[in-house]
């Protein structure tokens, strides 16, 4: 059987993980729309095409250790769990405790025991206690590259995040990083840094 491309793996993960299952009841009817949806507390669930683009750039491999910063509804954490598979591990962090608790319950309902979502630790960006990570996904807009997250990447690791209006891929090799910008402009809620 041929190996699936990253794009095909992302498509399959999205088919297996309905967005509606991770949304508040009031907006589930709009789950199929290619638009960001309000999930409460000033947060949104990003539009599916943006999520797909970011996951394709991230290139999660089976067995990867993955961090999801700004887990929100838990949908991206669930998608990452599908991509990392049963031999991987996925940890989401969310600064709004109520959202983190709802998202964690949705992961349990989806049967994704290799993933978890924790409330973000005050004054800490990411989850350095679990580093290094092979892949980091950030779902909030940074204005400058967050060094605290770069430091949590494993050697050979990759991070994808919105940075000053663009989605960028950050590859770490030793102490060096390479930043690659994708085409287009994006809008996200702001990343709250300590």
Please give the positions annotated as active site. Answer: 46
Among all chains, which residue has been given the structure tokens 């009817």? 29
Question: How many Cα atoms sit within 13 Å of 181 on the Cβ side?
Answer: 9
Structure tokens at 122: 């005050």
What residues have CB less than 8 Å from 38, skipping those under 6 apart?
A: 27, 44
SS3 188: coil
Question: 72 with 51: CB under 8 angstroms?
Answer: no
Cβ density class 98-115: b for 16+ within 10 Å, e for less: ebbebbbebbeebebebb
């Amino acid at each position: 059987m041929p190996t699936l491309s990253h794009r095909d793996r992302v498509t399959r993960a999205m088919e297996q993980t309905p967005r509606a299952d991770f949304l508040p009841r009031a907006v589930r009817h709009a789950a199929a729309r290619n638009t960001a949806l309000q999930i409460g507390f000033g947060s949104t669930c990003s539009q599916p095409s943006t999520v797909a683009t970011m996951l394709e750039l991230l290139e999660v491999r089976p067995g990867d250790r993955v961090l999801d910063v700004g887990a929100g509804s838990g949908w991206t954490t669930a998608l990452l769990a599908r991509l990392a598979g049963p031999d991987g591990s996925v940890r989401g962090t969310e600064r709004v405790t109520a959202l983190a608790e709802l998202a964690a319950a949705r992961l349990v309902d989806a049967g994704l025991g290799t993933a978890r979502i924790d409330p973000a630790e005050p004054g800490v960006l990411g989850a350095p206690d679990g580093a290094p990570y092979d892949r980091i996904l950030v779902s909030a807009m940074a204005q400058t590259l967050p060094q605290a997250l770069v430091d949590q990447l494993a050697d050979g690791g990759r991070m994808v995040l919105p940075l000053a209006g663009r989605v960028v891929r950050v590859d770490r090799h030793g102490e060096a990083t390479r930043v690659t910008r994708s085409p287009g402009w994006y809008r996200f809620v702001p990343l709250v840094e300590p």
